[in-house]
Structure 1
Amino acid sequence: MPEPLTTEYMQKTQQIIAAAPVGPWNVEPSTHGLPDQVGPIAFLETWADTERIPVVEFISHAREALPRYVGEVSRQQALIQTLEQRIRDLESGQDGGDRD
């Protein structure tokens, strides 16, 4: 399972996302009906040179970030399930400890 996300990693991700053109990035077909463009990306180019680097960084970062976010969500879900079970055990008196 991936390591928990650090504050620095989250901040870097937020900066990269903020610098990229606003989404959603819709898929646009060519005259032949094939996907030709996704948002600002067309033939691995962008509409404006000023968007190129932020878009490339976003795409590059997203490939690693998305799996980490999914891993973090999974980790938190597992923790929530553990805590919910612990609460149920405490409420039912099955924790093996004294209830004051």
Structure 2
Amino acid sequence: MYVRLGLVPTIIASSADAAEKVLKTYDHIFASRPHHEASQYLAYGQKNMAFAKYGVYWRNMRKLCTLHLLSNRKINSFQSMRKQEVQSGEAEFQFDRSHVKATLFVCLLV
């Protein structure tokens, strides 16, 4: 079923068969984000991973990020930097510790 919610065109899969077609058979059609002029300028012509259209380029970007940028070794290499940022944030709030719980602050940053 096609419904227009304001300016947003919406498809409603009202049965299990329709949901299977939308989520399995035609998933490649619905996988990309809608095209916006702002994403052209803010996302380098839709070339970053968040706004790129689903396809070979997006899959390669995702693989690159998963293997290299978001690997455990790479994340652990920035541990000292995260610790330093937490300490500098704590130093800013040390003047009034009654209102700031340091453990909560650390959890939010990490």
Taking structure 1 as the reference length, what is the TM-score of the superposition? 0.29
* Larger RCO (CA under 8 A, 6+ residues apart): 1
